[in-house]
Structure 1
């Protein structure tokens, strides 16, 4: 299982989501994102993961028509396991840059 951490902005953003939005994010992460991280470097086509042009090293996971979470790879904490740093979550209006 990949390790993860959340930035304070992610934690604050998460509180603004509805329970249904939080549930959908959790389901996408557990059922698609984590299994794809375990199997290799590629994400399934339906998952919609892409780099953020204005913030090198930051990626977005589009989880709904108007919902996304931004994240980056952190330093590996456990041998052979990816470490994910969740940066922000919300609609497409969430701030990306520093």
Structure 2
């Protein structure tokens, strides 16, 4: 099975999710994303695609207004993808921050 890590920003974002949002994110990652990333093929419902202007960064839809960004890291175990979660929340995670 794939391995996972999180960035400090992801951890801060995750703390802002409602209890229901956090439970839904965990369920989607466990039941859909993790098996798909291991196979290297994502189901259409997750809408996995590259983030514009951020090479190597992907986004995944986990709810109607739930998004998470991630990237592949170096494998920790041969043949097991390593995913680094970068952001999680609503579509607003794509809004640029203050200049």
The TM-score, its normalising length taken from structure 1, stands at 0.92
Gaps of 5+ in 2: none
Higher-strand-fraction structure:
2
2:33 match: secondary structure: helix
Gaps of 5+ in 1: none
The corresponding residue for 2:20 is: 20
The 2-side partners of 1:2 and 1:96 are apart by 29
Structure 1 runs of 4+ with >3 Å offset: none
Report the Cα offset of residue 93 of structure 1.
1.0
The corresponding residue for 2:34 is: 34
Label 1:52 to 1:88 Cα distance change in 2 as closer, same or farther (>3 A): same
Higher-helix-fraction structure:
2
The 2-side partners of 1:96 and 1:38 are apart by 30
> Is the Cα–Cα contact under 8 Å of residues 47 and 63 in structure 1 kept in the other structure?
yes
Please, what is the CA RMSD of the aligned residues? 1.4
